[in-house]
Amino acid sequence: MNIKAIGNNLNNFYDPVKKLGKTQNHSAENVKDKIQISNEAKKLQANKLNSEQFAKIKERIDSKFYDSSHVLNKVADTIIKEIIK
């Protein structure tokens, strides 16, 4: 004798969910992080400031050298030239 359930299709709902979960599981061995460093970042790293250069810049900041109208105008001109390019 064969008995069939009436209106209970829960197995049809759960099976695809179980299958989906199995395909999305990744073991720690398969997942690896990756880092990429741009060429520009590599160049900046190569051009590190030495302690003398850093001290000179700090001294200029403390003496408000960079706040002078001459320096501010030069920076503004450089920005404008970059925008116009």
In a domain, 33, yes or no: no
Which 8-state DSSP code applies to residue 65? G
Q: What is the pLDDT of residues 22-48, one digit of tens each?
A: 555 556 567 788 889 899 888 878 877
In a domain, 2, yes or no: no
With contact defined as beta carbons under 8 Å apart, do 49 and 57 qualify?
Answer: yes
In a domain, 62, yes or no: yes
Q: What is the mean pLDDT of residues 67-82?
A: 94
Statement: residue 60 has pLDDT above 80: yes
Give residue 60's domain range: 49-84
Statement: residue 8 has pLDDT above 70: no
For residue 45, which phi and psi values (nearest 5 degrees)?
-65, -40
In a domain, 1, yes or no: no
Q: Tokens 């741009």 map to which residue?
A: 38
pTM given for the model = 0.39
Rounded distance, CA 67 to CA 73, Å? Answer: 10
Our count of domains for the chain comes to 1
